């Protein structure tokens, strides 16, 4: 099962790369595969400690369920905070323009 952990890390990093790149061009697919191979070769010992538990579909299902519940909790919490701030009679926000001083030596 030694190859399975490399394939698992490869698939995970490849999917994350494709999601964050936002493109499915041949260049991005090729570069994503190359990056995923390099990342999986370098990090498999850090990410996976038990070879047997890697490819169990039940674990993946629980991971997705946990992510959805965790994400939904904080999403609802953030929206509730915004709604409270909007509907509060005194509007507990303090908008303003902030001036940040900076010095540059060249245009670049």
Q: Is residue 63 part of a domain?
A: yes
Please, where are the H alpha helices in the chain?
2-21, 26-47, 57-87
Indicate if 39 and 12 belong to the same structural domain.
yes
Residues of the domain holding 46? 1-55
Indicate if 35 and 71 belong to the same structural domain.
no
Q: Which residue has the tokens 């570069």?
A: 31
Mean predicted confidence (pLDDT) in 43-70 = 80
Is the full-model pTM beyond 0.85? no
Indicate if 4 and 46 belong to the same structural domain.
yes
Asked if 54 contacts 8 with a C-beta cutoff of 8 angstroms, the reply is yes
Indicate if 38 and 79 belong to the same structural domain.
no
Per-residue pLDDT of 68-100, as tens digits, reads 898 899 999 999 998 988 888 887 777 889 888
* Count of Cβ atoms closer than 10 Å to residue 72 Cβ: 10
Residue 52: what pLDDT? 65
Indicate if 19 and 38 belong to the same structural domain.
yes
Judged against a pLDDT cut of 70, whether residue 51 lies above it is answered with no
């Amino acid at each position: 099962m030694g190859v399975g952990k490399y394939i698992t890390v490869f698939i995970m990093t490849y999917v994350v790369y494709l999601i964050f790149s936002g493109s499915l061009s041949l260049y991005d697919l090729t570069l994503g595969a190359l990056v995923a191979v390099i990342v999986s070769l370098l990090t498999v010992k850090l990410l996976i400690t038990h070879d047997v538990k890697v490819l169990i579909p039940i674990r993946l299902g629980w991971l997705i369920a946990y992510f959805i519940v965790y994400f939904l909790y904080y999403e609802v919490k953030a929206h509730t905070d915004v709604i409270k701030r909007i509907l509060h009679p005194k509007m507990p926000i303090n908008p303003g323009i902030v001036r940040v001083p900076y010095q540059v030596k060249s245009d670049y």
